[in-house]
Chains A and B, each alone.
Chain A
C-alpha cells in the first residue's frame, strides 16, 4: 500500500453511468461451478432447458469430473404442453438422481429462465420432496435464472436459501460469508485466532451438515461483494454486518481484519502484531509487480461485482489508473468502504455491450478486464485483456494471495512484452 495516498472523501456520491442493453455476462447458474466444489455433499439440479445444460458444460469447460455433482432436468415439449405433470416429472428425476447418488445430503433445485417464466414453483417442490427424502437428504430451491441474476448473484441466491436452516446461536461469533478457497479459509481462521477472535464460522460450509449458527450476537464479515440478499436474510435473523473493504490486496486485507477486530473490541496493537508478518509478505509480493503495473490504464467490463474492490486494490496498491469500472450491479451499502477509497473514475452499472466496447476502443486502455466472449476479439484488435472469470476461479483473497492477485493482472502485460511473433 502507498501510505501517503490521500483518502478520497467518502461522502461524495460518485456518479454512476447506468446502462441497459445487451449484457455480455453469465447468468447465476454459473455459480454452481464453484459452489458444488465447495459444499462437498451437495448436488445442484438445474430445472431448465438444453441451453442451461449447454451453458454449464461450456462454463465448466474441460472440468468433466468422474461424476459431476450437478445436472440439468431438461424441460421438454411434453412438459410444456401439459402432457406430463411437471411436479410428477420432477419427483421422478429426483428419485432417479438420489438412487444413483446416495451420498448426497443436500439437493438444490435451481430455477432457470424457462422455469421462472412458466412459474414452476420449485420452493414448493423442494418442500414436498424434502418430506420424502429427509432425514437423508434435504431439498432446497433457489433461482439462478438469467432474468433475475447475473453470474455471481447465483451464489447470493444459493446462500440466502441456506439462511433459514442455520441453527440459532446466542453466543458471540464472527461469521465470514462468501465462498473462499479452503486454503484461504484456513489462513483466515488462524489469523482470526491470533487476533483473538476464537469463534469464527464460514458460510457456505464445506459439508451440508455443518451450517454455522446465527443470532443477535453474530457479526457478519462479507468476504465477497455479491451477497446482498444473503446479507439481508442474515440481518433478519439478528446478525449485524461489519463494514469493511473487501480483503483483496495488503491494504484491503489489513482493513478487513482490523474492522473485524474493532467490532470485537480487540486492541489495535494486538492486531498489528498478529498481522505484521503476513502484511509484510503481501507488501513484498506486491512490490515485485508494481513497476510493471504503475501508471497502466485499466478498463473493467462488468462481470462478478468484484470490479470495484479490484479497482480500489489496483489503483491504491499498484498505481494502476482505472478508466472505467463496470459492474453488473452496484450494491452501494456493501461497496461503501471500497467506493470511499476508490479514486475518481467512471463507474458504470449494467451494460450495453456495443456502447461499452466503443468507449473501450476510444479509451485504448493498457489492460481490459472482460469475459471470455470478448477477450479474443479485443486481443485481435490489439488490446491486452485479462479474463475476468479467472478472478472468480482463483484464490485471490487475503495477505498470502495478494501477490498472486497482482500477478494475474501483470501476466498479460508481461506476455505481450515477451512475445516476438
Chain B
C-alpha cells in the first residue's frame, strides 16, 4: 500500500481514454463501476472537448456482483456498437473491473461484432496512465496496421507523426509547429496518430517512409513495432529548444533524404538570450520536475539556451528513469525519480531554487514556498490549454519557452534596485515582482529565532534579497559549522559569502 496525497498519473485505463478520445471512429467499452465516469470531465472540462469521450462504462453495482456482471458487459458492448457505430472498438476493465475477472476480451469475442475489437490488459495495480496510453496505442497499431515487407521509396518522402493525444501538454500546438516544419522541409505527413486518426488511418501507417515520435511516453512501443513490422525508422530527437529543433530537422531530413532548410526560420530565442538585457539570468538556479520528455528537454534549454544552472532535475516517469539520471549527472546533480508529492516538495525546499519548472503540483509547491514557477509538463490543468497557440516544440516553441522561463522572475533592473536600496518602500522583500500582481505569496516557512546568529548578523541577513536569502543562510551556517564560528557575526556572513561566491 502506498500513501498518496496527490498523483501525477491516473490509472492506466485513463491513459487508454486519452488515446480513444483523441481518435475518431473508435469506441472504448470499459467494465467499470459507477463513479469511474468521473474521467469524462477531464476531457470535457480540463481540455474543453466539445464531445463526450467515446467511452461506455458498464456501471456495475454491488447488487450485480453476485449475479451476472458478464452479461452486463455484453449488453453494454452490444449497445455501444449499435449506438455509436464505431469502425473499431477497444474493450477492457478499470481497477475494480479487473478484480471481478469477467474477461472482457473473451466476452467481446463471443459477441462476434463485425468490426475489429481490440482487447486491452491494463494491470491497474501495477501500472499508470502513461503506460496505459502507450500500451493502448501499441495494441491498436499492432491490431490494425498492415505490415509492410518491401518498402517502395516514393517521390515525395512522407512520415507519420506519432504521440499527440488527448490531455497532452500543448500537444495541439506542438503538432501545428511540427507540421509547419515538415512542410518547410518538403516532407509530407501520411498520418497523425492518435490525435484525429480513424482506425482506417491506422491501417495505412505503413505507407510512410519513417515515423516521428513526438512523445516517447505515448508512442515509443508503437514506433518500435512499426520499425520491426513495416521497416520504418523513427526519430529520437525531441524538438524542444533551439538546439534540439536544429538536431531534429537534421534527423528528419536525413531520414527523408532531403536537404535541410538553411536558416532557423523564426527563432528569436538565440538573440533574446544574447541580448544584454538577459545577462541577469546567468546562473539562476532552477529546479525542473515533470514527465521525462519535458524534464529532459527543459534541463538542456535552461542550461544551454537561457544560461541557468540546473540545481534539481526529476521525473515521475519511472519508465525513463535511466535517461533522466544520465542527464542529471551531466548537470552534476542527482536525479529525483519519484511520484511522491511530499518527497518532491521536500527536495524543492532543500534545493532552494530561484525558479521552479514543473507540473501543476510543483506550481502549488512553489507558491507555498514563495518561489517563482512555470508549468512545463503534464499532468494538465485548464490553464494548460490556452486559447492562443502556445507550443513548446519547434522554433516558435523555443520562443514560447524563453518567455515562460523568464517572465516569472523579477526583472533585471528591479532586482538591482532591490539590492541597492534594501529598505526602499517599493522595491523591498515583501513586494512581488512589479509585473506580477500586488501581493507576494506566503513567506517560505517562518524561521524560528535562532541562537546561532547574532542579532546584527540576523539583521544583515534580512537585507539580502529574499530569493537568495535561504541559500545565504544555509551556506553561512555550514561555513560556520565547519569552522565552529558560532554565534554567526556579520563578519562570518561576509566571509561565507566570499567563500561560496559564484
Contact = CB atoms under 8 A, between A and B. Distances in A.
B37 A25 contact: yes
A74 B7 CA distance: 11
A72 B4 CA distance: 5
B317 interface: no
Given A49-B125, A148-B62, A54 B14 contact: yes
Contact of B1 (A59, A86, A375): A86
B44 A375 contact: yes
B1 A54 contact: no
Interface in A354-377: 354, 371-377
Contacts of A273: none
B99 interface: yes
Interface stretch (A89-97, A212-220, A223-231, A408-416): A89-97
A64 B36 contact: no
B36 A146 contact: yes
Contacts, number: 178
A73 B126 contact: no
A76 B41 contact: no
B387 to A, nearest CB: 12
B3 A71 contact: yes
Interface string B270-314: 000000000000000000000000000000000000000000000
Contact of B5 (A22, A27, A54, A68): A68
B11 A116 contact: no
Interface string A29-59: 1100000000000000001011101110111
Contact of B49 (A29, A67, A73, A376): A376
A53 B232 CA distance: 39
A12 interface: no
A38 B7 CA distance: 24
Nearest to A68: B5
Contacts of A53: 4, 6-7
A268 to B, nearest CB: 45
Interface string B458-494: 0000000000000000000000000000000000000
Interface in A94-121: 96-97, 113-114, 116-118
B60 interface: yes
Contacts of A57: 6-7
Contacts of A113: 33, 35, 95-96
Nearest to B126: A77
B180 interface: no
Contact of B11 (A25, A50, A84): A50
B38 A90 contact: no
Contacts of B37: 22-25, 373
Contact of B4 (A74, A145, A375): A74
B48 A51 contact: no
A93 B1 contact: yes
Contact of B34 (A84, A150, A373): A150
Contact of A376 (B6, B35, B45): B45
Given A146-B35, A373-B37, A50 B96 contact: no
B253 interface: no
Nearest to B95: A49
A55 B38 contact: yes
Nearest to A371: B41
A113 B124 CA distance: 13
10 contacts: A47-B1, A49-B11, A50-B11, A50-B95, A147-B34, A354-B83, A371-B41, A374-B40, A376-B44, A376-B45
Interface of A: 20-30, 47, 49-51, 53-55, 57-59, 62, 64, 66-68, 71-77, 79-80, 84, 86, 89-90, 92-93, 96-97, 113-114, 116-118, 145-148, 150, 354, 371-377, 379-380
